[in-house]
Homo-oligomer: A and B are copies of this chain.
């Protein structure tokens, strides 16, 4: 059903979902239901090894449901992103309704699943969906594991600068001079980009696929670098991994090896910065140049997510250059709103999400485990303290972005092993 909340648009669409039942107890064994987020579901499926590990222990069926407007689940096919009319059904509420209807369908069509307890599991935006799913549809899911879910990164629930100061701390802890080098790099870029020769130098120093032509391009370079540092913090995993990009173990430490001396001259400093980002974008060594239009895996649906950020999912962010290593930038809602109107013809409605999902006032809900990694910038908007006996927080000090959802690994820190054990014990309580 394309529109669950209205009856004028009566079309339906094909939603993709993946099922794995090799460990399932066919007499109403539990179902672990991944609430798909903003990307291709097969990619999430392959990066959520925890569920596969748990399936065996709980004799559970795994279901990975793709979020509408991502991957192959496009309500209007190629037209899905053509205008605000077609995008109108891209909301978290519609996605949750998809999940509820899908589970009802699975329970009535799979023999032995009629009374299966269902647990929602998700990471990041998918973690928010898992939590919200339990909140809004407790008759469908007995509990939820919301990993690295920044459900409070909205309105003024948390300081807008917390996110970037966590990124900064990751770099600060990962090598002497590292965060200072990055903080100093912005002015170095500003100096160089004030002349054509400087722009040319920057283009070749950063091996950019398309050279910088003006100050606007230089701003794009800075944004791209910022996003790179943020992404590195998110995927600062203790072992070689390929989530947003193929990377070595503890990649922030690796890049910080290039960024030890913040006092270098502009050009030397920036050459080091290039070495650092080159590790992120070109760990394989195969890239002939770096493309600023991409910062992460193609499996994420950038377009759809940008629309969501322009409507419901308004997350205030800011930097001050003091508590963080970034150029100071205030949160500017009006600019966002104008940009959204220009791009999609829509205006964000930031208060709606708070009315819908309760903001911080959620103690009347139950059976949700919120896990957060201490290294993960998204933990800034996460639930990191217990709210009630059944709304519990698990903090993984050495964890980056939903490390706990990844497969077991010999290099896993103790804290994530303990977190997973605790998560499993809650799941056992629920089913």
Tell me which of B100, B137, B346, B362 contacts A8 (CB under 8 A): B346
Residues of B within 8 A of A84 (CB): 7-8
A8 to B359, CA, bound (A): 24
Residues of B within 8 A of A85 (CB): 8
A356 to B356, CA, bound (A): 15
A364 to B365, CA, bound (A): 9
What is the CB-to-nearest-CB distance from A311 to chain B, in angstroms, rounded to a whole number?
A: 4
Kindly state whether residue A361 has any CB partner on chain B within 8 Å: yes
Do A7 and B88 form a contact, CB below 8 Å, given A139-B361, A358-B139?
yes
**Cβ B93 vs Cβ A5 within 8 A:** yes
What is the CB-to-nearest-CB distance from A236 to chain B, in angstroms, rounded to a whole number?
A: 34
Do A104 and B8 form a contact, CB below 8 Å, given A349-B1, A365-B138?
no
A355 to B99, CA, bound (A): 10
**Cβ B104 vs Cβ A347 within 8 A:** no
Do A351 and B104 form a contact, CB below 8 Å, given A5-B5, A139-B362?
yes
**Cβ A4 vs Cβ B97 within 8 A:** no
Q: Which residue of B lies closest to A360 (CB)?
A: B139
Do A97 and B355 form a contact, CB below 8 Å, given A139-B364, A364-B139?
yes
What is the CB-to-nearest-CB distance from A411 to chain B, in angstroms, rounded to a whole number?
A: 39
Residues of B within 8 A of A23 (CB): none
What is the CB-to-nearest-CB distance from A93 to chain B, in angstroms, rounded to a whole number?
A: 5
Which secondary structure dominates chain A's binding surface? loop
Residues of B within 8 A of A260 (CB): none
**Cβ B355 vs Cβ A88 within 8 A:** no
A97 to B91, CA, bound (A): 15
**Cβ A352 vs Cβ B139 within 8 A:** no
A6 to B356, CA, bound (A): 13
Kindly state whether residue A87 has any CB partner on chain B within 8 Å: yes
Residues of B within 8 A of A5 (CB): 5-6, 91, 93-94
Kindly state whether residue A425 has any CB partner on chain B within 8 Å: no
Q: Chain A 339-369 against B: per-residue CB contact (8 Å), 1 yes, 0 no?
A: 0000001110101101110110110111000
What is the CB-to-nearest-CB distance from A144 to chain B, in angstroms, rounded to a whole number?
A: 12
Kindly state whether residue A10 has any CB partner on chain B within 8 Å: yes
A5 to B312, CA, bound (A): 9
